[in-house]
Chains A and B, each alone.
Chain A
Amino acid sequence: MAHVEPLFVASHLHKRFGHQVVLEEINLAFRQGEVSGIMGPNGAGKTTCFNVLTGRYKPDRGHVRFAGEDITGLPPRTIARKGISRSFQLINLFNDYTALENILVALPEVRDRGFNMTQSLSRDSAAMDKAAEILRQVGLAGKEREPSKMLSYGDRRALEIAVALAPRPRILFLDEPTSGMGTQATIRLAALLAEIKRHLTMVIIEHDMKFLFDLADRISVIHWGQVIAEGPPAELRANKWVQASNLGKLA
């Protein structure tokens, strides 16, 4: 059988801040159509890893490839335009905009004509419909006109994901999507991501082990700036490294 390169590959990534080595030797591969999980204790380097993968930081060493193309060190805007989107651990929205406007400005057809200085965006009914549809997908139908800063925490989390979905990415990186959410909101989010999973490759950093083990096809464990274990959730529960790093109990 011919070897098929995974959709997204990070190899030998190294990142340091001053004397602090955050990523020592990170090797990750995310396959098309799968949900990949990343877990690890606080300070393990998970978010830094996301930031390197999505262009916020340049790696000191190593390479990142997406769909066969080397995207190492490209700025976030270029990476986003290639079909890579992300959400943030701390909610990161356009706070003065309504929920609908948050989605509108992130739509590729709006963004790509962003230098148009005469056409009013509110008269683009096709874009408005698309934005409303994305809000409906994440359970925010009926809240299109609400200022995003007035939404509940759970709704803002959903909007955070919706903004990441709006550019119609090929791969979606979610950084701790359940962070700060209650049980019911987490259940709703799990159902939403299970739905998104059907048509999108996802990579999720998560501390909620049940959430991640239920959703992910494969999980990588990062500790001390390295990938110390990886595999399907069932295998990972029994992994000695995971047990040793105390994450097994949580799972």
Chain B
Amino acid sequence: MTPNRTTGEGLVTRPMLVLFALLLSLPLWIERVGLYQYLGIEIVTWMIYALGFNLLLGYTGLPSFGHGAYFGVGAYAFGLVQLRLVESLWLGLVAGVVAAMVAGLLVAGLISHRRGIYYALMTIACGQVFWFVSVKWHSVTGGEDGLLNIARPTLSLAGFSVSLRANLALYYVAVAVLALTVVGLWRLVHSRFGKALQAIKQNEMRAGFVGYNVWLYKCLVFTLSAGIAGLAGSLFAMAQKSAYPDVMSLHSAGLIVMMTLIGGGFVSFWGPVVGTAVFFLARDLLGAFTETWLLWYGLMFMGIVLFKPEGIVGAWQDLVRRRRAGRGGSAGFLSRFWS
């Protein structure tokens, strides 16, 4: 399974506009439905993380079960810049991305000649190394407590300044970052590079035999994906005003895999976006009724893996296809929406 690649290759597509409209209007209605503003920041941050993760899993077929490491490296790098250097949004974001990319490149260089289960195990092992370092390197990472009191710096752009101390301001910054990530990744997965990644996913050996440097592509995509995780980690550090080892744990790394798969990252660009929203809504809505919400979420994950591995978007695509077959014609917009 490879995400549908044949439709909607424009710079901005209808699903993007729907997503952006939904997210931009979210502060206006989220409290009316019983939720809260901060949830928006969490969802958007993890959407960025999941989209970057799916570049690796859904588009290149590379399972990384230690991706929390790069999210965490981004968070720590952002925090260290704010606490030790200077309060600067841009410098913090750049540091978060670059640090995560360097960490990703180191790991990718080590593991990209592997594939399948060995690749997956190596990502776990490397992720655990980063987690261990974050716990033990007290002087830099703050140990198990992590970095606390990370400032939310002021956004300064073209003579315009706004404080990000309020959740609403930070939320809109996160949405802007998500929008850039979505447009950039959409472009990337439909580019020549994206096509090469999907070819490698489908048949790594054949890609080599037609002349692709598979190792280099795997290295590069892992580094990019780690960089996006670092970007999300930076936003997370701002949102939480802290960075701590738990985000680098195996448990945290597993969550991003579950979100991506439940949404349908294998069949759609939008799978991770849907999966992230479902996770946080499940956490807050199911969590309001029972403390065991994660058990039910886990059961849902098992059900999807067993009966509909294409995820929620895959189920939607099937539904639309059946409707189209039933009507003997095209379902038009619906059939292309989640491509």
Contact = CB atoms under 8 A, between A and B. Distances in A.
Decide whether A and B are members of one complex: yes
Interface of A: 54, 75-77, 80-81, 85-86, 88, 92-98, 101, 104-106, 108, 110-111, 113-123, 163, 166-167
A123 B9 CA distance: 10
B211 A95 contact: no
A163 B192 CA distance: 17
Interface in B209-245: 209-214, 217, 220
Contacts of B193: 114-117
B212 A111 contact: yes
A106 B1 contact: no
Given A96-B198, A114-B217, A122-B9, A54 B192 contact: no
Contacts of B220: 115
Interface string B182-212: 0000011011111110110011011111111
Given A104-B195, A113-B192, A121-B192, A93 B211 contact: no
Contact of B205 (A92, A117, A122): A92
Interface of B: 1-2, 5-6, 9, 187-188, 190-196, 198-199, 202-203, 205-214, 217, 220
B318 to A, nearest CB: 16
Contacts of A86: 209
Contacts of B188: 117-118
B124 to A, nearest CB: 27
Contacts of A97: 2, 198-199, 202
**Residue from B203, B209, B212, B220 whose CB has the most chain A CB atoms within 10 Å:** B209
A105 B196 contact: yes
Contacts of A81: 211
A120 B186 CA distance: 11
A111 B203 contact: no
User: What is the predominant secondary structure among interface residues of chain B facing chain A?
Assistant: helix
A121 B193 CA distance: 9
A119 B217 CA distance: 17
A199 B9 CA distance: 38
Nearest to B2: A96
**Residue from B193, B206, B210, B217 whose CB has the most chain A CB atoms within 10 Å:** B210
Contacts of A75: 208
A120 B190 CA distance: 6
15 contacts: A75-B208, A76-B208, A77-B209, A80-B210, A80-B211, A86-B209, A94-B203, A94-B207, A101-B195, A106-B210, A114-B192, A117-B191, A118-B188, A118-B191, A119-B192
A93 B202 CA distance: 8
A160 to B, nearest CB: 9
Given A92-B203, A105-B199, A111-B210, 15 more contacts: A76-B205, A77-B214, A85-B209, A88-B206, A92-B206, A94-B198, A104-B195, A105-B195, A105-B210, A106-B210, A115-B192, A119-B192, A120-B191, A121-B190, A122-B190
Given A81-B211, A114-B212, A117-B188, A94 B205 contact: no
A94 B211 contact: no
Given A96-B2, A105-B196, A119 B191 contact: yes
A81 B208 CA distance: 10
A211 B195 CA distance: 37
A37 B192 CA distance: 37
A105 B193 CA distance: 10
A80 B192 CA distance: 19
A105 B188 CA distance: 15
Nearest to B193: A117
A54 B209 contact: yes
Contacts of B208: 75-77, 80
A65 B163 CA distance: 67
A15 to B, nearest CB: 18
Contact of B212 (A77, A104, A116, A117): A77
Contact of B203 (A93, A110, A115, A123): A93
A136 to B, nearest CB: 20
Contact of A94 (B187, B192, B202, B213): B202
Nearest to B217: A114
B9 A95 contact: no
Given A116-B191, A118-B191, A111 B211 contact: yes
B146 to A, nearest CB: 34
